[in-house]
Amino acid sequence: MANELSKAPVFDGTGYEPSLFSRSQFIAPKTDYKAAAYQNRNTDTNKKILVVCTEEKYMTMANGRKFSTGNHPVETFVPILHFQDAGYEVDFFTPEGNSVKMELWALPLQDAAVGDIIEKYSEQLAHPKSLRDFAQGDFRSETEYVAVFLPGGHGAMLGLPENEDLKKLIHWVVEKDKFMFAICHGPAALLAAAYQEDPENFPYKGYKINGFPDSIDETLPEIGYQPGKMPWFYGERLKNLGVEFLNEGISGACHTDRKLVTGDSPMAANQFGEMCAKVLSESTADSE
Q: What's residue 201's pLDDT?
A: 85
Task: Please indicate, yes or no, if residue 10 is contained in any of the structural domains.
Answer: no
CB 152, CB 75: distance < 8 Å: yes
Longest dimension (CA), the chain: 58
Q: What's residue 288's pLDDT?
A: 54
- Condensed to tens digits (0 to 9), the pLDDT of residues 128-156 reads 999 999 999 999 999 999 999 999 999 99
Q: What's residue 147's pLDDT?
A: 98
Q: What is the CA angle 249-251-255, rounded to 5?
A: 95
Task: Please indicate, yes or no, if residue 31 is contained in any of the structural domains.
Answer: no
Task: Give the chain's mean pLDDT.
Answer: 96
Task: Please indicate, yes or no, if residue 206 is contained in any of the structural domains.
Answer: yes
Task: Please indicate, yes or no, if residue 139 is contained in any of the structural domains.
Answer: yes
- Condensed to tens digits (0 to 9), the pLDDT of residues 12-51 reads 999 999 999 999 999 999 999 999 999 999 999 999 999 9
Confidence of residue 286 (pLDDT cuts 50, 70, 90): low
CA-to-CA distance for 274 and 183, rounded, in angstroms? Answer: 13
DSSP string, 129-146: EEHHHHHHTTT--SSEEE
CA-to-CA distance for 288 and 284, rounded, in angstroms? Answer: 7
Pairing of strands 254-257, 260-263: antiparallel
Other CB atoms within 10 Å distance of the CB of residue 126: 11
Confidence of residue 199 (pLDDT cuts 50, 70, 90): confident
Residue 14 per-residue DSSP state: S
CA-to-CA distance for 187 and 150, rounded, in angstroms? Answer: 7
Confidence of residue 239 (pLDDT cuts 50, 70, 90): very high
Q: Which domain holds residue 241?
A: 15-26+41-283
User: What percentage of residues in the chain have a pLDDT greater than 90?
Assistant: 94
CA-to-CA distance for 194 and 190, rounded, in angstroms? Answer: 8
Q: Cα 113 to the chain's mean position, in Å?
A: 19
CATH code, 224: 3.40.50.880
Task: Please indicate, yes or no, if residue 94 is contained in any of the structural domains.
Answer: yes
| Single-letter code of the amino acid located at 50 | L
CA-to-CA distance for 6 and 26, rounded, in angstroms? Answer: 14
Pairing of strands 89-94, 129-130: parallel
Q: Is 283 exposed, middle or buried (0-12, 13-18, 19+ CB in 10 A)?
A: middle
Task: Please indicate, yes or no, if residue 129 is contained in any of the structural domains.
Answer: yes
Crossing angle between the packed helical segments 269-287 and 73-85, to the nearest 10 degrees? 30
Task: Please indicate, yes or no, if residue 6 is contained in any of the structural domains.
Answer: no
Question: What mean pLDDT comes out for the span 217-229?
Answer: 98
Q: What's residue 200's pLDDT?
A: 77
Q: How many domains are there within the chain?
A: 1
Sign of CA dihedral 136, 138, 140, 146: positive
| Single-letter code of the amino acid located at 60 | T
| Active-site amino acid positions | 184
> What are the backbone angles phi and psi of residue 262, rounded to the nearest 5°?
-135, 160
Q: Is 246 exposed, middle or buried (0-12, 13-18, 19+ CB in 10 A)?
A: middle
Task: Please indicate, yes or no, if residue 169 is contained in any of the structural domains.
Answer: yes
pLDDT at residue 242 above 60?
Answer: yes
